[in-house]
């Protein structure tokens, strides 16, 4: 069964780019998109995706806060951050909020599919600029 | 014959998104992708695209300077500028640089196809705010328009503007020399001229000048806990 994914980013063009990258993989299915953290919470409730691909900086409710709420309500759901912030500190904050993965946007073409697959299997995937790594 | 489009944006994920949007349109093809302004100019000269789409906030050579140089090289280049802000100053500079289209990145999914269609029909495409600004300029000045505004840094040559951006991005004179295939001494001379012309006294002053004049864009510190405006990608 395909991994069901919710894409959350405030820029439609970025969501389109993410969708294009994920469409190449038959085992992954984008079920919907959201443009801010609040909309993401609503769609998580109604769609029950397996993985939420989440931007950090968004209007209304940022990704870190959204991640905390999502994990409180649905601990089984996995969150993968995709962000411009190539920062170990931000990565730690994201993981502390409950995310299973953290990928910087500049590396998405290389890392996104692998990262989604990893977190969907409840494995950690973190990738700052030069050090993609997975852990069980 | 297909309409050929060259895309220039430093974020691959944004290029993927834009490509996907544009290629859904029958009769259009993305003939090349560049990740900075310098690469865009080289590819444009080689590929001769019908439309060039450039992001303003690119490293090494920003989108405004890229537009300026493209239009100088060949006034037939039709450039659409992509931007995260439609502040008055950015609009003026884009118009001065010779852009024929101006699209906010946040609205690109909605507006970019319309912008390319407009240029294809030899029209221009601007956001409502640009239209308001141009009209206000026209009304204020009788028969002039924002396009006739003096550029914001008229006293610098194109080469000096390029070097200003590279220095403001933190590169040393030696690194700039390697990038531009110049001698370090030539870069030092340009650097002195830039500082003198702009009455600046330190690299810090130069960075402040570059930010204020949209030569470089800074990434905001992370806005955790804030609903602040985000930068693209």
**Hey, are the CB atoms on B224 and A62 less than 8 Å from each other?**
yes
Give kind and range of the element (H or E) at residue A104. Answer: strand A101-104
pLDDT at B30 over 80: yes
Per-residue model confidence as pLDDT tens digits over A24-78: 888 999 999 999 999 999 999 999 999 999 998 888 888 999 999 999 999 999 9
Whether the pLDDT of residue B140 is over 80: the answer is no
CA pair distance A29, A27, nearest whole angstrom: 7
Task: Give yes or no for a contact between B3 and B120, defined as CB atoms under 8 angstroms apart.
Answer: yes
Q: Which residues pair with A126 in a beta bridge?
A: A102, A133
pLDDT tier for residue B187 given thresholds of 50, 70 and 90? very high
Domains in chain A (CATH in brackets) are 3-135 (3.40.50.2300)
- Residue B190: predicted pLDDT: 92
With bands split at pLDDT 50, 70 and 90, how would you rate the model's confidence at B117?
A: very high
Position B210 scores a pLDDT of: 86
Alpha carbon distance B157, B152 (integer Å): 12
Higher-pLDDT residue of B114, B89: B114
Using the predicted structure, report yes or no on whether residue B229 has a pLDDT greater than 50: no
Q: How far apart (Å, rounded) are the C-alpha atoms in residues B110 and B28?
A: 17
Whether chain B has a CB inside 8 Å of the CB on A88: the answer is no
pLDDT score, position B148? 44
CA distance A105 to chain B (A): 7
Q: Under a CB-based contact definition with an 8 Å cutoff, are residues B228 and A61 in contact?
A: no
Contact B47, B4 (CB under 8 A): yes
CB B83 within 8 A of CB B67: no
| Arithmetic mean of pLDDT, B4-24 | 92
Which of A68-77, B136-145, B184-193 bottoms out in mean pLDDT, i.e. has the lowest?
B136-145
- As a whole number, the mean pLDDT across chain A is 88
Give B62: exposed, middle or buried? Use CB within 10 Å, 0-12, 13-18, 19+: buried
With 0.80 as the threshold, say if the pTM is over it.
Answer: no
CB A37 within 8 A of CB B224: no
Residue B137: predicted pLDDT = 67
Please list the residues that pair with B6 across neighbouring strands: B32, B52
- Is the Cβ of A61 closer than 8 Å to some Cβ of chain B? yes
Compute CA A7 distance to the chain's CA centroid, rounded to the nearest angstrom: 7
Beta-sheet strand order (sheet of A133-135): A28-34, A3-8, A51-54, A78-83, A101-104, A124-127, A133-135
Q: Give strand ranges (E) for B43-157.
A: 51-55, 79-83, 101-104
Question: In the predicted model, what is the mean pLDDT of chain B?
Answer: 83
Query: How far is B184 from A116, CA to CA, in rounded Å?
Result: 46
B56 in Cβ contact with B81 (< 8 Å): yes
Closest partner residue to A16 (CB to CB) among B109, B222, B231 is B109
Give residue B221's pLDDT: 41
Give the percent of chain A with pLDDT over 70.
Answer: 94
B139 has a pLDDT exceeding 90: no
Contacts of A8 in chain B (CB under 8 A): none
Other C-beta atoms lying within 10 Å of the C-beta of residue A69:
17
Domain architecture of chain B: domains with CATH: 3-148 (3.40.50.2300), 158-212 (1.10.10.10)
Q: Which of A108-112, B85-89, B143-147 has the lowest mean pLDDT?
A: B143-147
- Res. B118: pLDDT tops 80: yes
Type and span of the H or E element at B98: none
E strand or H helix that includes residue B154? none
* CA neighbours closer than 13 Å in the CB half-sphere of residue B7: 22
Q: Which residue has 């990704």 as its token pair?
A: A63
Count of C-beta atoms within a 10 Å radius of residue B193: 16
Q: Is A99 helix (H, G, I), strand (E, B) or coil?
A: coil
| pLDDT for the residue B152 | 52
pLDDT of residue B141: 60
User: Between residues 19 and 48 of chain A, which touch chain B (CB distance below 8 Å)?
Assistant: 19-21
pLDDT in tens, B154-182: 588 888 888 999 998 889 999 999 989 89
Q: Among A117, A77, A121, A83, which residue's Cα sits nearest to residue A99?
A: A77
The pair of three-digit structure tokens given for residue B87, joined into one six-digit string: 């502040």
User: Lowest-confidence range among B38-47, B69-78, B203-212?
Assistant: B203-212
Specify whether the CB–CB gap between B192 and B38 falls below 8 A: no
pLDDT score recorded for residue A61: 84
Q: How far is B143 from chain A (nearest CA, A)?
A: 38
**What's A125's DSSP letter?**
E
Contact of A93 with chain B, judged by CB distance below 8 Å, is answered with yes
Contact state of A10 with B106 under an 8 Å Cβ cutoff: yes
Distance from the Cα of A118 to chain B's closest Cα (Å) equals 20
Per-residue confidence at B232, pLDDT binned at 50, 70, 90?
A: very low
Which parts of chain B are beta strand (E)? 3-8, 28-34, 51-55, 79-83, 101-104
């Amino acid at each position: 069964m395909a991994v069901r994914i919710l894409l959350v980013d405030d820029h439609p063009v970025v969501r389109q780019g993410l969708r294009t990258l994920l469409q190449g993989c038959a085992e992954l299915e984008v079920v919907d998109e959201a443009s801010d953290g609040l909309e993401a919470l609503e769609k998580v409730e109604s769609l029950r995706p397996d993985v939420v691909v989440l931007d950090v900086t968004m209007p209304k409710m940022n990704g870190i806060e959204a991640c905390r709420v999502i994990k409180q309500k649905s601990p089984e759901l996995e969150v993968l951050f995709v962000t411009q912030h190539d920062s170990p500190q931000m990565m730690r904050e994201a993981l502390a909020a409950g995310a299973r993965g953290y990928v910087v946007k500049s590396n998405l073409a290389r890392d996104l599919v692998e990262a989604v697959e990893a977190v969907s299997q409840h494995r950690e995937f973190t990738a700052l600029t030069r050090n993609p790594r997975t852990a069980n | 014959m297909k309409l050929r489009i060259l895309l220039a944006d430093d974020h691959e994920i944004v290029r993927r998104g834009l490509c996907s949007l544009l290629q859904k349109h029958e009769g259009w093809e993305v003939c090349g992708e560049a990740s900075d302004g310098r690469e865009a100019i080289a590819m444009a000269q080689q590929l001769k695209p019908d439309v060039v789409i450039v992001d303003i906030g690119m490293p090494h050579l920003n989108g405004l300077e890229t537009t300026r140089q493209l239009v100088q090289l060949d006034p037939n280049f039709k450039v659409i500028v992509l931007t995260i802000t439609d502040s008055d100053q950015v609009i003026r500079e884009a118009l001065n640089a010779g852009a024929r289209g101006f699209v906010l990145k946040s609205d690109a999914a909605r507006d970019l196809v319309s912008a390319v269609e407009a240029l294809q029909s030899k029209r221009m495409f601007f956001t409502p705010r640009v239209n308001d600004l141009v009209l206000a300029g026209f009304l204020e000045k009788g028969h002039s328009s924002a396009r006739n505004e003096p550029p914001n840094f008229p006293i610098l040559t194109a080469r000096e503007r390029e070097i200003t951006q590279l220095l403001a991005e933190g590169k040393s004179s030696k690194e700039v020399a390697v990038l531009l295939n110049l001698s370090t001494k030539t870069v030092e001379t340009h650097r002195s001229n830039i500082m003198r012309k702009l009455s600046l006294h330190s690299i810090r002053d130069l960075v402040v000048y570059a930010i204020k004049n949209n030569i470089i864009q800074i990434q905001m510190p992370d806005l955790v806990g804030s609903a602040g405006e985000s930068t693209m990608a």
